[in-house]
Structure 1
């Protein structure tokens, strides 16, 4: 058994870990092997160091720095820069249009030079991500070993140079995406949806740009949009602060009564009270607005899908009246304004709570604990580490730029940057690991498979993937743990669990005292890092990149009454054109990068060989093949579902789910 990563003759492997061919539990090793494990973990703990004083995410345990073996592969860099180039070229085309209309002061030559720079970056990147030269195979003689060491050092230096250049390209493209010179964008045009659509100059315009005002789509987003994690059954009575009357309900849902809908469990609600933590910010001297609305939906008698019933734009009914869909022309734009209030709230809840806090930051805590307390010969280390690829790297970028002062979230979202950071941090620290396991969470919200809400694509597709991951975890773990006693006797596993619930500050984790508990924990970790992140990340491109559909702030106050509003007032609540472009840039990027689908386990070592080395795992009848076959079957099943759905939901097809949070 080898306890030290062997020298592998590829440049990228000089820092990257490799999986063991014969994983073992610490209690089954000899004293010498146990000592080797302890030495490896001691070294890892010097590399993976906690920091819970990151200013942008106060109190959240994060990595103090990103270890070398967590840096992205050349393959990932090629994808990122290719997508970024498309976005930058689109943004530059939009800015050139602004110059031609007299909205921007910059000369055309400035942006034309930037387009030429994009061409140069594209050519350079193609060369940089090409396969690296492979040093010769190991030499047996002493002199041969010196030659090999020299070859390895040269390969390392070449690789480091490539990465440094790619980082520089990324940084330059981020500069080119900035909207500092675009404040006047759109000033020569009348306010209109067409002006927002025109921001997609060289990029495909998402279909939601034409359909987002549809009430049926507004309802569907609750169960197959970026944030399907908030809709919950109402219960026996409406909240005391939501005084909807029987008459108001009956006017919206024909042939139904409020009493019947309550009794039959057909009412569902969004409650954004948690957003009270946000303090309204500003941008460019313009005030921004956030709200904490309540929104009610119903499944009509004999129906399966939600319909919107009523919206209250704040928590206090004395201040905020209830708005409802209405055929009365005078009420039309007030209803559209109320839906926009909900979409602003949903954008904040999605990005700060469901996305950043409950996927990115949770998985970082687990990743740190795994590297610090499970030796690289531990079978659970081998199972989980591929699900952490790129996470520490991408989270550092989020903490230092995305959610930092004067970053995109500071610009686009409603709260002051300090209150926004505080909300994200609180959401992470409040996350309950066991309660948020998909079956538990759905049941707690009253939207499980037996509920009146029959049409719920996130739930139905998500449970298929959850069950497949659970079966994979159970089969894999069963190879190494014959009994609950094996789990209880595993000192590394005990230290890992204590770290996850302790230093990592993940509530509701453990105790891990049985095979079942270990299987459930690993299922939750793998699902969160893969499917759950996919469900909240990839709709950003198709749904959120078009700012009028979902955005982070309101730019006029919400109306005090539904009647008497107009389209101009509705449009005035939407973001300035420059910020709509910034939102497009950021969310198009985040929602476009698909790297390594679930079930495709590979090393980070060029040429990215298969990850698992234990024949028990990889054999023709082994659990890995079974898992991959199961995922392929689910992919086909969801594709068939989407062929029959009015609105396809592709985000939980296994072929569209990356293994890890790497963007």
Structure 2
């Protein structure tokens, strides 16, 4: 039968001796399956699960979604390769492309048949008992999953560019925006491709882009970007630098943490990365950021402070400076905000949950669906994405060893308590009452945080009547100790009150769902187009704003072969939506409802209220987007998966 939450979850201190013994035995079995290790080479020093348990492998539903996305990627690659042949740029044998098309058609036919079977079983006329038995056997049989994985392997082969294609897209091919656009054959060109050079778009990405968690208020001119009063006044008409500082209207993005990364090589070509400081301001009477200055390399005393300029002598120097920031932002996003502080943070909590909260425990029931797929996707990343010769090694600036080290240090230095959304926003000085009125990530994230916190509060207070219940819960105390100890998660303290337990669970669910959505899905809409955001510079940063040219700007962008690899990788990562927030179902077919305790799942219970709150949040965000100059969709509840599963 499909796994579901217990009908009557209980705290261990309330169980009989026999029930406590059952819990102990179940946890011993789970601990044998979920062992810790901190020696995985790609994330050496970060605690993860040692061997992926069978129960952590994805559902057939997830595999079908993934394959649909990979098929679209493969079609795009074939279309690019076909175009290169037709232009006489590639010597690729077209018979190979025909063979790839045949493989895709066969996989599509097989998937369509399986989807029909699944739909028929779900809505068919069999008796319920027969339905459960037949479907469970049909779908969860290892042969079905193996077939889907085999399809994925075949498609992966199609996605690997052949030598003739790499040569056609090689380093000698001139960089043009038209050629980058031409990589989107069957995949739609993202809107950012037509707006990324706009200064206001550049500023907006700090508050509504892939990395919206770095912008912070400053109360003094940063030493790393020492703009003068004259420079400021020339950029923000009718304002002064002193007034901006006094009013709290000056903000920065400081990429100093990237200093750990050592730039590497690709095919013998040097890659570049600096740690820029970018300054932004909210003009008097305004509500949105405008860019005012960039220092591309504060470590170099001769590096100039560049400012926006319309004249031809300074225009391309400013465009180059913005690209320097975008490359830094791409690295910070992928290694710090995304990999380290969502994926790797959640795995520590997920492993500890399986090891220390019995399946009978109400918190196990609350949390485990928010971990679905996380260990699997993290293992996949550690063995293919962030390894030598993988996409991170190719696309991003650092040697793979230094990129791995950056992610590890970002994870181990993350403070779980200080990272809680309301506290983080306050610490950065960018709350709703500050001059930074337009900050869609902040506003939508707080809305979702509030809905999750209310749900968690109502759920936890169903089982914990008072603070002593938390202190007396040996499983919860062991769970928190393991996360802080074996899991090496700073700021995860053993809860002593009901409120502190609510805070820990709210942050856990928010990070696994909404925070991951906020950093993951912009990868497709924004980061898949290399000129807008990419992982490395391919020429050194300018040492003057004067006299630079458009060809010099373009030369800082990646070779087309890597732009296509970036497109493929980020299209995949940013396309898979599996089980939206508020959806709690078994991971086994036919995916029955997860919660069975009527105190939780009743028609007017906490779960129904949570789902209603998410529907209201969806309506509110849709209404906000109708008024926003740039809609922000990444935290609409319908677009937030419940777990970090891609």
TM-score range, shorter chain: over 0.9
Which of the residues 174, 177, 192 maps onto 2:156? 174
Is contact 1:530–1:660 with CA below 8 Å preserved after alignment? yes
Q: Which runs of 5+ in 1 are unaligned?
A: 1-7, 140-147
CA–CA distance in structure 2, aligned partners of residues 531 and 158 of structure 1: 29
Deviations 1:425-476 (A, max 9, x none): 1111111101000001001111111111110000000000000000000000
Is contact 1:266–1:299 with CA below 8 Å preserved after alignment? yes
SS at match of 2:274: coil
Is contact 1:78–1:126 with CA below 8 Å preserved after alignment? no
Q: Which residue does the alignment assign to 2:422?
A: 439
SS at match of 2:278: strand
CA, structure 1 residues 611+202, in 2 after alignment: closer, same or farther (shift >3 Å)?
same
Is contact 2:224–2:277 with CA below 8 Å preserved after alignment? no
SS at match of 1:212: coil
Which of the residues 89, 111, 116 maps onto 2:102? 116
Deviations 1:349-370 (A, max 9, x none): 0000000000000000000000
Deviations 1:580-630 (A, max 9, x none): 001000101111111111001111121111110000001122100000000
Deviations 1:105-144 (A, max 9, x none): 32111122112111111112233454297999889xxxxx
Q: Do residues 232 (structure 1) and 240 (structure 2) align?
A: no
Q: How many residues align?
A: 639
TM-score (norm 1): 0.94
Q: Which residue does the alignment assign to 2:88?
A: 102
What RMSD, in angstroms, separates the aligned Cα atoms of the two structures? 1.9
Q: CA deviation at 1:186?
A: 3.9
SS at match of 1:295: strand
Is contact 1:185–1:577 with CA below 8 Å preserved after alignment? no
Q: Which residue does the alignment assign to 1:4?
A: none
Q: Do residues 217 (structure 1) and 223 (structure 2) align?
A: no
Q: Do residues 205 (structure 1) and 189 (structure 2) align?
A: yes
Q: Do residues 558 (structure 1) and 541 (structure 2) align?
A: yes
Question: Greater CA deviation, 474-483 or 60-69?
Answer: 60-69
Q: Do residues 162 (structure 1) and 144 (structure 2) align?
A: yes
How do 1:342-361 and structure 2 match up within 5 A? 342-361=325-344
CA–CA distance in structure 2, aligned partners of residues 191 and 153 of structure 1: 53
Which of the residues 471, 484, 492 maps onto 1:509? 492
CA–CA distance in structure 2, aligned partners of residues 288 and 71 of structure 1: 37
Is contact 2:480–2:495 with CA below 8 Å preserved after alignment? yes
CA–CA distance in structure 2, aligned partners of residues 137 and 194 of structure 1: 57
Is contact 1:179–1:579 with CA below 8 Å preserved after alignment? no
Is contact 2:136–2:588 with CA below 8 Å preserved after alignment? no
How do 1:617-632 and structure 2 match up within 5 A? 617-632=600-615
CA–CA distance in structure 1, aligned partners of residues 63 and 79 of structure 2: 24
Which of the residues 195, 199, 213 maps onto 2:179? 195
CA–CA distance in structure 2, aligned partners of residues 344 and 621 of structure 1: 49
Q: Do residues 280 (structure 1) and 255 (structure 2) align?
A: no
Deviations 1:5-52 (A, max 9, x none): xxx1xxxx3xxx421010000000000000000000000000111111
Is contact 1:186–1:195 with CA below 8 Å preserved after alignment? no
CA–CA distance in structure 2, aligned partners of residues 241 and 85 of structure 1: 46
SS at match of 2:294: strand
Q: Which runs of 5+ in 2 are unaligned?
A: none
Is contact 1:95–1:185 with CA below 8 Å preserved after alignment? no
Q: Do residues 69 (structure 1) and 55 (structure 2) align?
A: yes
Which of the residues 370, 373, 380 maps onto 1:390? 373
SS at match of 2:150: helix
CA–CA distance in structure 2, aligned partners of residues 154 and 249 of structure 1: 66
CA–CA distance in structure 1, aligned partners of residues 134 and 56 of structure 2: 20
